[in-house]
Amino acid sequence: MNQLSQGIREIQIIKKFAEICPYKIDATSIKKEDPPKPDIYCKLENGVELNFELVEFLDNSIAKVTSNQTTLKHLLDGEKNKLPFCKRWRFNQKYKHVLIYVAFNKKLSLNKRKKSIPHLIDFLLNLDVEEIKEDEIKIATCPEIKWFNIRRGAYTGPMFRVEGVTSFSVSFIKKIKEKFNKNYETGNKVELLAYYALQPEIPNNHWLKEMTDYIQDNIANSPFNRIWIYSCTNNEILFSYPDL
């Protein structure tokens, strides 16, 4: 994306953010700035001048992992549905109120993980689930699967879920850290707006605590007065610090 297109996009993001921001931003005052100034200049309706620096939460490796999770879940559902009628009925009855949570070995290729799925379905079909607690179960003959567990509850099962990754916070904090270490030329207060646009939102439990801890520990030495995390897709503020 060239600088002109990026500038137009950032103005659009700020204008959308202004619709729900607790500040009363004068949308007509929003304009793109060039480095070493922060990305966006604007005024509040009371005349106070403000700058925003923007950073997008976009990580191609995370997008790939999320795609792999979806693929593996669909293959688990598909393999179960391919069972002959009697076996499929037995499987569905056995796991009708069960979530089956599967952790694949992410060190192995996606193809190898895919090939382990028939083995897992067969293993589950013959497993005595009545004696199983919600512990991690390993299959000695199937290194492609690190472990799985069985969770009983108000599920419309059998329901499969594939383990995600827990390193989203590392990627996000890296982007925030890069901004924290920059210097900006402006006499106004500067706020950091980190946003989702192209990438699907990651559940809060994958990043919120680590992000909060990092920001609280480091904001005093950063150029920013406040940090916002914003979803363009849902037009929703996911996080702000310090609180207003």
Give pLDDT < 50 ranges for the chain. Answer: 166
Q: What is the pLDDT of residue 67?
A: 75
Q: Helices (H) and strands (E) in the chain — how many of each?
A: 7, 9
Please identify which residue in the block is written with the tokens 């500067």: 190
Tokens 């329901």 -> residue: 159
Tell me the pLDDT tens digit for each residue of 159-178. Answer: 998 886 545 566 788 889 99
DSSP 149: E
Indicate yes or no: pTM above 0.85. no
Specify the pLDDT at position 64.
66
Q: Are strands 189-196 and 226-231 parallel, antiparallel or unpaired?
A: parallel
Please tell me the distance from the alpha carbon of residue 229 to that of residue 21, in angstroms, as a whole number.
11
- What ranges in the chain are assigned the alpha helix state H? 3-18, 60-81, 85-94, 110-115, 117-125, 168-180, 208-218
Q: In 10 A of CB 145, how many CB atoms?
A: 21
Phi and psi angles of residue 221, each rounded to the nearest 5 degrees, phi first = -100, 10
Q: Which two tokens stand for residue 6?
A: 């990026």
| Closest to 57 measured CA to CA, from 234, 231, 241, 237 | 231
CA distances from 182 to 11, 23, 52, 238 (A): 21, 25, 13, 24
Whole-number pLDDT of residue 193:
97
Tokens in use for 95? 């796991």
pLDDT at position 104 is 92
**Predicted pLDDT of residue 220:** 96
Predicted pLDDT at 119 = 95
Q: Can you give the pLDDT at residue 65?
A: 66
